Amino acid sequence: MFDIHALVLEDIMNAHSRPKVEFYDNFTFITLKMLEQRKGGVMESEQLSLIIGEKFLLMFQEEPGDNFDPIRTRIRTSRGKVRSRDAYYLAYLVLDTVIDNYIHVGEKLALQIEDLEKAVVTRPTQLIQQRILRLRREILGFKHSIDPLKEAINSIQRELDDNISRYYRDLYDHIIYESENLAIYREMLDNLLELYHSSLSVRNNEVVKVLTVVTTIFVPLTFLVGVYGMNFEYMPETKWRYGYPTILASMLALVIGMLVYFRRKRWI
């Protein structure tokens, strides 16, 4: 009925198609990704394909349900310009909704990065590292969905007259804005990963320092215990009445003296 090219039909059925735009004699074909962040912070993508003709717009989605109900309401109630403009204006409204959702998802990612930054400073655990790496992969996939769309939107606005191309220029500006934000988010996560490793190293150094101090304190105590633990017959201290309390007091004084020395050296 609409004389759609077989290659376009193939791209519509291929859910892994790269976002792109193609121009044919009687229509324009656009494919892109719709993104949504589910509960638990998991990001899911769904392919959306648009065929824009002179007097029609065909939409193909993978799953039922979307964010286009406000557009449908405007069509039913004749609100705004949607009933008086052509199919490219309707496509603009659809693309604008998708791109606005990109920005909304990007804001959620920014909040997650802020939470991770606080967690890295306070409690750098292995789980935090896994969350950083997962979020980094999601942002990389997000950027791969956006970057090809920049050229697609730019190609469309170059083909249209000024009355409608200005709307697509606005979409292009929004895409550029979000793409730059994603680059910033990715750099922030790289810095967070470095901060995580630095915090972990500092924490390990603190543990090693404490263990070293404990070991250093017990070395002379072990020496004293070892000396008086020998079973030689001619050791006068072993026959002395106050030998045992004296050696205990000496060991206590040695521990206190070493702790005071370490404190003055700022080692503890």
Q: Residues 246, 139: one domain? A: no
In a domain, 207, yes or no: yes
Q: Residues 167, 260: one domain? A: no
d(C-alpha 19, C-alpha 176), whole Å: 15
Q: Residues 147, 252: one domain? A: no
Q: What is the CATH number of the domain that holds 250?
A: 1.20.58
Residue 48, pLDDT score: 93
Residue 35 burial (10 A CB sphere; 0-12, 13-18, 19+): buried
Domain interval for residue 244: 203-264
Q: Residues 218, 155: one domain? A: no
d(C-alpha 95, C-alpha 156), whole Å: 12
Give DSSP secondary structure letters for 250-263. Answer: HHHHHHHHHHHHHH
Q: How many domains does the chain have?
A: 2
Cβ atoms < 10 Å from Cβ of 7? 11
In a domain, 49, yes or no: yes
In a domain, 126, yes or no: yes
Compute the chain's Rg from CA coordinates.
34
Residue 126, pLDDT score: 83
Q: Residues 145, 246: one domain? A: no
DSSP for residue 232: -
Q: Which of 202, 228, 254 is the last residue of a domain?
A: 202
Give every CB contact of residue 176 below 8 A, 6+ residues apart in sequence.
150
In a domain, 1, yes or no: no
Give me the sign of the Cα torsion angle 78, 84, 85, 87: positive
Q: Which of 202, 224, 240 is the last residue of a domain?
A: 202
In a domain, 18, yes or no: yes
Q: Residues 175, 215: one domain? A: no
**In terms of residues, how long is the chain?**
268
- Each of the 268 residues of the chain gets a pLDDT tens digit; together they read 888 888 899 988 988 888 889 998 889 999 999 888 766 666 788 899 999 998 899 999 988 878 888 888 888 887 777 777 888 999 999 999 999 999 988 898 898 899 888 888 887 788 888 888 988 988 888 888 888 888 889 888 888 888 888 899 999 999 999 999 999 999 999 998 888 888 878 777 777 888 888 888 888 888 888 877 777 667 777 777 777 788 888 888 888 888 888 788 777 7
Of 142, 140, 156, 62, whose CA–CA distance to 104 is shortest? 142
Of 132, 245, 129, whose CA–CA distance to 185 is shortest? 132
Q: Residues 76, 19: one domain? A: yes
Q: Residues 173, 230: one domain? A: no
Q: Residues 217, 109: one domain? A: no
Q: What is the CATH number of the domain that holds 90?
A: 1.20.58.340
Q: Residues 156, 179: one domain? A: yes
φ and ψ at residue 60, rounded to 5 degrees:
-125, 120
Is there a contact between 95 and 171 (Cβ–Cβ < 8 Å)?
yes
Residue 95, pLDDT score: 93
Q: Residues 63, 18: one domain? A: yes
Q: Residues 196, 258: one domain? A: no
d(C-alpha 16, C-alpha 46), whole Å: 9
Q: Which of 150, 185, 202 is the last residue of a domain?
A: 202
Of 100, 96, 124, whose CA–CA distance to 193 is shortest? 124
* Amino acid identity for residue 104 in this structure: H
